């Protein structure tokens, strides 16, 4: 009986001494970071039928674990390589910031957005939205498209996700007409 009492007292002391100091924990993990996962030097691949279609690279990705608004945020810019036939890069997209909203199935690319194709076309804008569900890319902002023969300006842009078919709203600029 005495051994049991002593054992119970020792166990009570052990469990009583196992207390976490919240201030110490917050020094290690700040409270604002408890709903986030932070990854450095990230590379993501999007594939279709086991064929890589897009490679996205970023210096830092923050994954927000908020159940009402889960999202992945590239705060230090991205580079996205779009692959065509034979795993050849046919266009490159860069920007200083990008956010993928899981529930909306959208990626919002902002700040110095530049898309360049292998056929020397270049799109520049401040915001581009990729609607993953409808496989469309669009912007309601000012856009500039250049190629070796023309410069086109406008407000509003829409394209398929491969950028092979596109339209510009409120168009302006120098356009070469075919004879």
Q: What is the structure's pLDDT at 95? A: 96
47 versus 176: which is more confidently predicted? 47
Confidence of residue 33 (pLDDT cuts 50, 70, 90): low
Q: Mind listing the domains of the chain with CATH numbers?
A: 33-174 (2.60.450.10)
CB burial string 21-48: b at 16+ within 10 A, e below: eeeeeeeeeeeeeeeeeeeeebebeeee
Cα–Cα dist 134/51, whole Å: 20
Euclidean distance between the first and final Cα of the chain, in Å? 106
Question: Is this model's pTM higher than 0.85 or not?
Answer: no
% of the chain with per-residue pLDDT over 70: 77
Q: Can you tell me whether residue 170 is helix, strand or coil?
A: coil
When pLDDT is averaged across residues 80-98 and rounded to a whole number, the result is 89
Q: Is the pLDDT of residue 132 over 90?
A: no
């Amino acid at each position: 009986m005495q051994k049991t009492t002593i054992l119970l007292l020792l166990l009570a002391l052990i469990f009583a001494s196992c207390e976490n100091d919240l201030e110490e924990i917050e020094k290690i993990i700040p409270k604002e970071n408890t709903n986030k996962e932070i990854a450095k030097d990230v590379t993501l691949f999007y594939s279709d039928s086991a064929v890589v279609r897009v490679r996205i690279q970023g210096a830092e990705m923050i994954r927000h674990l908020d159940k009402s608004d889960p999202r992945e945020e590239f705060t230090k810019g991205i580079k996205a390589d779009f692959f065509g036939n034979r795993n050849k890069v046919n266009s490159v997209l860069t920007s200083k910031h990008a956010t993928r909203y899981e529930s909306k199935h959208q990626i919002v690319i902002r700040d110095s957005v530049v898309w360049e194709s292998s056929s020397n076309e270049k799109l520049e804008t401040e915001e581009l939205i990729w609607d993953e569900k409808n496989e469309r890319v669009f912007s309601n902002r000012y856009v500039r498209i250049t190629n070796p023969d023309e410069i086109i300006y406008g407000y509003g842009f829409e394209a398929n996700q491969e950028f092979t078919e596109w339209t510009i709203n409120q168009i302006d600029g120098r356009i070469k007409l075919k004879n």
